[in-house]
Chains A and B, each alone.
Chain A
């Protein structure tokens, strides 16, 4: 019911536009001419002028009546619209007949006797049938137009929603600085101030860097990989002080790769995860290796740890799921996250993204 109303509403709006009306009338005139030509070809009576005048006056009279009555009555259901159109067609054909008789007589001095060969009846019935077919053609055209416009609108709405989701999601991720990490780091700094002030100072600077990135609300959606790596370095510096000899790390990202732009908060959660669920809970600790390579236009970044492996991984769900979701939204099928067992122990997380889409 609502759908019907939207469709009929769409038709009014469409015909309230002068340009659309103009184009449609040109189309009708062309169709009328074609009909005249066709009749001329069938009947071989070499009276194209007569056929032309008849079909134009029929066609234009019917079209005008339909246009005006639809704009005046504004039917809201298809049933009432078709009813009005049918009456218009009958009336229009009748009026068109009168007009064409007048024109032929007045301008061309041709007198038509409608009673000969049932000419009047032929004119009327063929006029009604042809008008109905043409009307049907126009309605179908408009309905198709309506559908495609709706689909377009849906698409735009969808795209806007996804974009909104992405940025909301990003903001949420950024704001997620873990209180546990924060307070532990602060305690470390507090202790280092007395014992090793230089070390404490550098830790404070690293924490500042992380906080600035996490808390800034106007962070650009696109940053370079180098920015992301320096954030990760700050994070690992802090963790290295906290975990001491239990943590070793290596970052192997060539300079040319660091220049690529790269969405923020895709890599960081993987590193955090490797620490939180891999190395921190492991008594001996272990190593993290971050390695980036490019091949066939695909940028591959691996975060491998030698931690506890999958046993503690069930708790890692949300962060990883977020990375996966963002990869999907940003790169579609081409963005991948693979979580594998690292040999001989630990977890290896691999991000693959198409370089051209970065």
Chain B
């Protein structure tokens, strides 16, 4: 039986390289398609129904892992990656086939050997592969998530500008909008204080009032007013901020 395979990689040279290597080590294998991105790879799997897919992980549009999730039950997958510590560890753990770029002949021969054996023993891809890939994706996503807001998008004349959150002195509620105050400028954004308080890193930004979130690194001094509320003096700013009673505990340990 002649097996068919597709190669998906956004880099032309690397597709050629893998194709030539395969021609050398597995001449009977027919490369029925070369995809330049994830979406093309999916289309080719649909169109040619290959038994094997060599998928580069980092591709524009859909990544190799995203493609794998969709075709796991349909064909056998070999991931190809340049350098990705997390991914390689995950592959090892889930016993998924993978190749590391630059692909060496020795390693490719091993992979081919295993593929041939699997294809001969059961022509259908093993049932567990889909779950394996899902598990794999879940593992990899853990490493990628849990990011706090890094940038504040503001309108600057006709342009949209990104302000890094570290540059913000404080956020002040202004009706439905929020005023972003930095050393150099002020800008209104549509995000509410409530949304911001959820998205900002709580280690670096403290809500000190219903309408105020302050950048902790900008605090110079904490004082107390006659009425028992806190007063914050920020570095290089003349105005001071009020800390309402319910947030005063934040400063107790200081």
Q: Which residues of A contact B (CB under 8 A)?
A: 179-180, 182-184, 186-188, 190-192, 194-195, 241-244, 246, 280-283, 285, 310, 313-315, 317, 320-321, 324, 338-341
Contact of A282 among B11, B60, B161 (CB under 8 A): B60
Chain B residues, CB < 8 A from A317: 150-151, 164
Chain B residue contacts of A280, Cβ below 8 A: 10, 58, 60
Tell me whether A190 and B102 are in contact (CB under 8 A).
yes
User: Least Cβ distance of A175 to chain B in Å?
Assistant: 16
Q: CB of B16 within 8 A of chain A?
A: yes
8 Å CB contact of B83 from A179, A285, A340: A179
Known: A187-B102, A188-B13, A190-B102. A340 touches B160 (CB 8 A): yes
Would you give the shortest CB distance from A191 to chain B, in whole angstroms? Answer: 3
- Contacts A/B (CB < 8 Å), 6 sampled: A187-B13, A187-B101, A195-B16, A280-B58, A281-B61, A341-B160
**CB–CB B151/A310 < 8 A:** yes
The reply on B156 being an interface residue by CB < 8 A is yes
Cβ–Cβ contact B17 & A191, under 8 A: yes
Contact between chains at B159 and A184 (CB < 8 Å): no
Name A336's closest neighbour in chain B (CB-CB).
B184
Interface centre among A241, A283, A321, A340 (most CB of B within 10 A): A283
Inter-chain CA distance A285–B12, complex, in Å, is: 14
Residue B250 interfacial (CB < 8 Å): no
- Looking at A242, A315, A341, the one whose CB has the most chain B CB atoms below 10 A away is A341
| B14 touching A243, Cβ below 8 Å | no
Identity of the chain A residue whose Cβ is nearest the Cβ of B12 in the assembled complex: A244
Of the residues B11, B101, B162, contact of A310 by C-beta under 8 Å: B162
Q: B118 at interface (Cβ–Cβ under 8 A)?
A: no
Which B residue sits closest to A188, measured CB to CB?
Answer: B13
* Closest-CB distance, A260 to chain B (whole angstroms): 25
Contact with A along B1-36 (1 / 0, CB 8 A): 000000000111110110010000000000000000
Contact residues in A for B166 (Cβ distance below 8 Å): 321
Asked whether B14 lies within 8 Å of A184 as measured between CB atoms, the reply is yes
Is there an interface contact between B150 and A246, defined as CB atoms closer than 8 Å? no
Residues in A neighbouring B14, C-beta threshold 8 A: 184, 187-188, 191
Q: Is the interface of A mostly helix, strand, loop or mixed?
A: helix
Q: How far, in whole Å, are A182 and B101 apart by their CA atoms in the complex?
A: 10
- By a CB distance below 8 angstroms, the chain B residues around A187 are 13-14, 17, 82, 101-103
Contact B164 A194 (CB under 8 A): no
- Interface of chain B, main secondary structure: mixed
Chain B interface size range: 20 to 34
Q: Which residues of A contact B209 (CB under 8 A)?
A: none
Q: Which residues does chain A contribute within 8 Å of B150, judged by CB atoms?
A: 314, 317
| Given contact pairs A187-B101, A340-B156, A180 touches B162 in the complex (Cβ within 8 A) | no
Q: Name the A residues within 8 Å of B100 (CB-CB).
A: 183
User: Would you call B233 an interface residue if the criterion is a C-beta within 8 Å of the partner chain's C-beta atoms?
Assistant: no
Q: Known: A188-B13, A340-B162. Is A283-B61 also a contact (CB below 8 A)?
A: yes
Name B160's contact: one of A195, A310, A315, A321 (CB within 8 Å): A310
- The chain B residue sitting closest to A192, CB to CB, is B13
In whole angstroms, how far apart are the Cα atoms of A182 and B156 in the complex? 38
How far, in angstroms, from A188 to B82 measured CA to CA in the complex? 11
- B84: interface (CB < 8 Å): yes
Q: Which residues of B contact A (CB under 8 A)?
A: 10-14, 16-17, 20, 37, 39, 58, 60-61, 82-84, 100-103, 147, 149-151, 153, 156, 159-162, 164, 166-167
Residues of chain A with a CB closer than 8 A to B20's CB: 191, 194
- Closest beta carbon of chain A to B195's beta carbon, Å: 15
Asked if residues A310 and B153 are in contact (CB atoms below 8 Å), the reply is yes
Task: Kindly report which residue of chain A lies nearest to residue B150, judged by CB atoms.
Answer: A317
Find chain A residues with CB under 8 A from B61 CB.
281, 283
CB pair A183 B13 closer than 8 Å: no
Identify the closest chain B residue to A183 (Cβ).
Answer: B82
Complex CA distance for A310 and B147, rounded to whole angstroms: 15
- Closest CB-CB distance, A190 to chain B, in whole Å? 5
Closest to A178 in B: B83
Q: How far is the CA of A306 from the CA of B10 in the complex (A)?
A: 18
Q: How far is the CB of B200 from chain A (nearest CB, A)?
A: 13
Chain A residues with Cβ below 8 Å from B11 are 184, 188, 242-244
8 more A-B residue pairs beyond the given contacts A243-B10, A314-B149, A320-B164, with a C-beta to C-beta distance below 8 A: A184-B82, A188-B14, A191-B17, A283-B37, A313-B151, A339-B162, A340-B156, A340-B159
Contact between B161 and A339, CB atoms less than 8 A apart: yes
A242: chain B residues at CB < 8 Å are 11, 13
Given A246-B10, A282-B60, decide whether A182 and B83 contact each other with a Cβ distance below 8 A: yes
Q: How far is the CB of B59 from chain A (nearest CB, A)?
A: 9
A182, A195, A283, A314: the one within 8 Å of B151 (CB) = A314
Indicate the member of A191, A280, A314 with the most B CB atoms within 10 Å. Answer: A191
Contact A283–B84 (Cβ < 8 Å): no
Residues of chain B lying within 8 A (CB to CB) of residue A190:
17, 102
Within the complex, the shortest CB–CB distance from B91 to chain A, in Å, comes to 16
Identify the closest chain B residue to A200 (Cβ). Answer: B13
Interchain CA distance A339-B61 in the complex, whole Å: 24
Expressed in whole angstroms, the Cα–Cα distance for A15 and B81 within the complex equals: 72
B151 to chain A, nearest CB (A): 6
CA of A310 to CA of B110, assembled, Å: 42
- In the docked arrangement, what's the CA distance between A266 and B165, Å? 20
Chain B residues within an 8 Å CB radius of A243? 10-11
Q: Which chain B residue shows the least CB distance to A241?
A: B13
Task: Report the minimal beta-carbon distance from A357 to chain B, rounded to whole angstroms.
Answer: 18
Q: Which residue of A is nearest B63, CB measured?
A: A281
Q: How far is the CB of A162 from chain B (nearest CB, A)?
A: 17
